[in-house]
Amino acid sequence: MMFGLFLCLASLSSRPALLYAVEESCTADSCMKSSRFMLYEVNPGEGFNLRRDVFVRAAVFVHMLNELDDRSSWALVLPPWGPLYHWKRKDLRQDALHWSLFFDIDSIRRFVPVMEFDDYLADRKLPVIDEVFYLMSHNFDEVDLQSEWLLNETKCSDVAGLPYFFEAKNVIRGWFWDYDGIYTKRLRCFKALGPAGKIITRLLAKTDVTDKAVMFDRFETVLHDHYGSENYWKARRSMRFSKRLINLGNEFRENNLNSSDERDITITPDSWEIQKSPVAFGGPFVCAHLRRQDYLRAHADEVPSVREAALQLRKILRMQNISVVFLATDGTKDEVRELKQNLPGITVWTYNPSQQLLSTIKEGGAAIVEQWICAHARFFIGSHESTFSFRIQEEREILGFDPATTFNRFCKTFESSCEQPAKWRVIY
């Protein structure tokens, strides 16, 4: 069947126009919405918490897409988790993990239609993705810095390290989360600069409505349309942790930190949609997120020594009249021991799940339990430009903590001052 190009322009002038091909005989009055799937992936080197931010970009875009597209109904296919660079445990299988292990999928679905990759395969009954767009960043010396957005196609054969290979006509193989037999029919490569609403809509314009599944690799390349906007916070608030991980965090708080939602004034409604401007107090402990490992090299001018971090913590503990610290860190056992030695008279807790529990919740689940505990502390101090710290700050903002107790980070030394994190306030 021949297909003609039909231009569909959104009536909302403040949002990007959507262009795509539809069947010639189809009219606006007679067409039923077709089901389509948007998939995405992120640079393999990106960590767990940056990927959560990329999800928000994709979710906000698909939410907008379903408002604008009167021809198709879109579902966002969630990319399986792992293996990730920061997940070091070789004794755990940490690949092709479902989102439901970490997050409440039903909560997310109340903002945007989403599905696990396994459910996508079962729904389509074909191990095929119709088209993959591989996105790359523009080098700054290639672009006019006054440009709001840029999109330039390049030959995939010219892309160094391209993670795809052409097996046959309309059969292009790649990693695809280590699932067997998955392939795409078409692959196109683009250099992109700009927000999802500008970039992705123009790439979708190059597809046909018969392309049921379209994937965008390196989705971290595109930016938020409106970072910190109402829809940003709706997507972020919908991204609640799985009930099992929340329960594990709550048990740890109750058993070790004298902390509960009732005492801390952190009770949340079952539905994120009805939560409005809460005021939280927090448990009687300070949470410190202290990044080590690669940060000692990548941010040498910003990361304190263990002793300097202890000095800064002692000042906070005196100000808060608290003698308990919950420590979230990727530091070594020796570094944790050194911190405790530099905090005499202070109780320092860390989260160390049993091997049996870790085998089920994985390292990602253990990190979420740590974040959940930190989100309920009386005071939080994080690490410079750490996405782990950013996600805790967002959780605390959602819970309703005073920004002065949330947007803090370690400085290089006790005596020095340093720029503190930007205060991104929740919008309801």
pLDDT one-digit tens code per residue, 137-191: 987 666 665 667 899 999 999 999 999 999 999 999 999 999 999 999 999 999 9
pLDDT tens digits, residue range 377-412? 999 999 999 999 999 999 999 999 999 999 999 999
C-alpha closest to that of 405 among 320, 302, 321, 278: 320
Catalytically active residues, by annotation = 46
pLDDT tens for residues 255-267? 999 999 999 999 9
Average the pLDDT over 235-242 and give the result: 98
Given a contact cutoff of 8 angstroms between Cβ atoms, the answer to whether 18 and 201 are in contact is yes
Q: Cα–Cα distance between 379 and 315 in angstroms, integer? A: 12
Judge if 4-230 and 242-405 fold alike in CATH terms: yes
pLDDT of residue 33: 76
- Whether pTM exceeds 0.75: yes
Residue ranges covered by each domain of the chain: 4-230, 242-405
> Was domain 242-405 assigned CATH 3.40.50.11350?
yes
Q: What are phi and psi of 330, to 5 degrees?
A: -100, 15
Tell me the CA distances in angstroms from 281 to 181, 259, 360, one per residue in order: 52, 11, 32
pLDDT tens for 302-356 read 999 999 999 999 999 999 999 999 999 999 999 999 999 999 999 999 999 999 9
Phi first, then psi: give them for residue 2, nearest 5 degrees: -85, 145
In whole angstroms, give the CA distance from residue 382 to residue 401: 15
In CATH terms, the fold of domain 4-230 is: Rossmann fold (3.40.50)
